[in-house]
Chains A and B, each alone.
Chain A
Amino acid sequence: MHSVVCIKQVPDSAQIRVHPVTNTIMRQGVPAIINPYDLFALEEALRLKDKFGGTVTVITMGPPMAEAALRKCLSFGADDAILVSDRAFAGSDTLATSYALSATIRKVMQDMPVDLIFTGKQTIDGDTAQVGPGIAKRLDFQLLTYVSKIVDVDLAKREIQVERRAEGGVQLLKTSTPCLITMLEGTNEMRFGDLDDLFRAARHELKVWDREAAGIDAVEMIGLKGSPTVVSKVFAPKPRSKRAEMIEVHDSDPKNLAVTLLAKLFTQHPKLEQEIAKRAV
């Protein structure tokens, strides 16, 4: 079984600030991390490898510094890593990125067929959740988004069953491979690689592919040219002026608890009771 995991190195968004005057994103000194959602994708691929054997290849598109993210994936247990890096990719939006990654995967498939592609459900810096589906579409792979559990893989029949979280419930889906899966957060816990994996990761010769090596001829499909998205404005949302308040109620009986809470709430906000009553009608 050959799984490809697409990851992205992102600035740790918890530490990013928008400059109060210029409204630009202040990246200085912000550490780069692996997009946290991608780690659930990688761990899921590694678990399938534990179960069925095979190979896990990690791919990222980014600047040379993204090498650190790939080495980390290798230290978790991935077998191979490819850094797709070229100035020609600068300014790529999700459309251009999915084009470049799908071309790279196509190139990978020439050496070894790919059964599954994993991505995180989205990145924490772009939050679009578009690149995964974009890759699936271009490669004509089946697409399973927001997967919370891989229930079964039947290698002989080339079938996969997954649970997918949807609004209002969980769907049990079955499809044929090859397919692309975007993993939901909290679905597994990343392993702590052993010493052999760490040594291998530190010594592994990373593949660094430029545009040509990735098999991309159509320069108009990548970089700024291939990106119809335009960022018109960046701004920091204004903090709410109203402060949140906390009402504390203690009671072992849930019913009493609710009644006391409502009573307290309505005493503090007399209008609220009428409004709710009106809506209930």
Chain B
Amino acid sequence: MAEKFDVIVVGAGMAGNAAAYTLAKGGLKVLQIERGETPGSKNVQGAILYADAIEKIIPDFRDDAPLERHLIEQRVWVMDDASYMGTHYRSEDFNKPPYNRYTIIRVHFDQWFNKKAREAGVLTICETTVTDLLIEGGKVVGVRTDRQGGEIRADAVILADGANSRLAVKAGFQPEIKPENVALAVKEIHFLPQETIEARFNIGEEEGVVIEMAGKISAGMMGTGFLYTNKESITLGVGCMLSDFKEQKVTPYELLDRMKAHPSIAPLIAGSEMKEYAAHLIPEGGYHAIPQVYGEGWMIAGDAGQFVNGIHREGSNLAMTTGMLAAQTLVELKAAGKPFSAANLAEYKQKLDDSFVMKDLKKYRRMPEIFHKNKQFFTTYPDLLSKAVQTLIRVDGVDKKSKEKEIRKSFVESRSLFGLIGDAFKFWRAVE
């Protein structure tokens, strides 16, 4: 193909759309290639949208973006098989615009985001898979696709092709992703009438609730569960490390079925009709798993670069931010008349280091390994906590002092005193 572009963006998810939009707004000639039938058709997320990240790219996104509900209540549940112990935080402050977090349905949101990119001048083609990067003299100069019509050339390529980026692996930019660095999440969308959702969760029109679940919901594996309220549906799912699924020989759908049958969750989805199910990989290796993210004529953004903050359930905002920063780097270089060489693209890494993206990932750099090696956080502690609370609440003629003693004993018996101190230290190291 004779036509040449300034930049080719591979992928039309959060990172790809953010990059393509920013590039086009910056006056660059952009081709975006998506393998799904439409933008968003292959993308899976919980999904919660953090306003801040999209606001930095499209400040007036609230005017026409397809948003489900803004979140006014956050529940965190630690669960054993019969109970949950949790905190609920609900505030009227979250009901004051501009709202901070929304539930979204990705297939709708991504189509909107991509439309914005196209309106800004991006040429998006779908149902086309980039099979190879064109590399000449160690420099990426374009892509080859599965369509007839030959190679397409560009001065730079941004890889925003999602978790398990085949292109980056094929080109030797990063090694094969490891099972212990990636979570497998499964989710379902359940249809329920709007009034039923609002009654069940004690919320008004447009208001939403998030439940994050930890503990035995992941059946002893490193993982968490979630439940989000959409306008006319509920999204719920669970994700655990791929290596754990492999070790424990639990299938993801069994885990999800067990979660749906949990006595604290079943009533929330009772009478609903399952409309959609999906599974997806989430890179959760954290800071240490992040590969080289730029080189001669190429950059990596979003899930492809492992930019996910597992413990805070943040991914799409990191994807948008990394996509935007990659694009801004190119826009600035282009304006300065500088080539997209590795030395110049190092500015992208600098921008990442200066942003919340790398700061947060660095803060939690020890977390994946600590939780991975200490499964008691997902098995023993939820049980102990639940028993402790129950012992305190149940009125049965036993005096309080004896009850406290019994609780202490149960903890020490399960983990030993040193174990408890060690676990506390590990937990602190993980989130410090």
Point out residues on A near B: beta carbons under 8 Å: 17, 20, 26, 28-29, 68, 75, 192-196, 198-199, 202-203
The answer to whether A202 and B147 touch (CB under 8 A), given A29-B276, A195-B1, is no
CA distance A75 to B127 in the complex (A): 10
Q: Mark B184-209, 1 if CB is under 8 A from A, else 0.
A: 00000101000000000000000000
Q: A35 to chain B: closest CB distance in Å?
A: 16
Given the interface pairs A26-B191, A28-B232, A29-B105, the reply to whether A195 lies near B152 with Cβ below 8 Å is yes
26 A-B residue pairings within 8 Å (CB atoms): A17-B273, A20-B273, A26-B191, A29-B189, A29-B276, A68-B38, A75-B125, A192-B147, A192-B148, A193-B147, A194-B147, A194-B148, A195-B128, A195-B145, A195-B147, A195-B148, A195-B152, A196-B1, A198-B125, A198-B128, A198-B147, A199-B3, A199-B123, A202-B118, A202-B124, A203-B123
Residues of B within 8 A of A202 (CB): 118, 123-125
Note all chain A residues with C-beta closer than 8 A to B363.
none
**Chain B proximity of A13: nearest CB distance (Å):** 15
Q: How far is the CA of A194 from the CA of B105 in the complex (A)?
A: 31
B97 CB-CB contact with A under 8 Å: no
CB distance from A19 to the nearest CB of B (A): 9
**Residues in chain A near residue B275, CB distance under 8 A:** 29
Complex Cα distance, B274 from A29, in Å, reads: 12
CA distance A68 to B118 in the complex (A): 13
Residue of A nearest to B38 (CB): A68
Closest 10 CB pairs of A and B: A195-B149, A194-B148, A194-B149, A198-B125, A195-B147, A202-B123, A196-B149, A194-B147, A195-B1, A202-B125
In the bound assembly, the distance between CA atoms of A193 and B124 in angstroms comes to 15
Binary per-residue interface labels of chain B (257-287) against chain A in the complex, 1 for a CB within 8 Å, 0 otherwise: 0000000000000000101100000000000
Q: How distant is the Cα of A29 from the Cα of B123 in the complex, in angstroms? A: 26
**Closest residue to B146 on the A side, CB-wise?**
A192
Q: Knowing A26-B191, A29-B276 are in contact, say whether A195-B150 is a contact too (CB < 8 A).
A: yes
* With known contacts A26-B191, A29-B105, A29-B275, A199–B147 Cβ distance under 8 A: no
Known A29-B189, A195-B145, A198-B147; further 20 A-B contacts with Cβ < 8 A: A29-B105, A29-B233, A29-B275, A29-B276, A68-B38, A75-B125, A192-B147, A192-B148, A193-B147, A194-B148, A195-B128, A195-B147, A195-B148, A195-B149, A195-B152, A196-B149, A198-B128, A199-B3, A199-B125, A202-B124
Most chain B CB atoms below 10 A, which of A17, A199, A203: A199
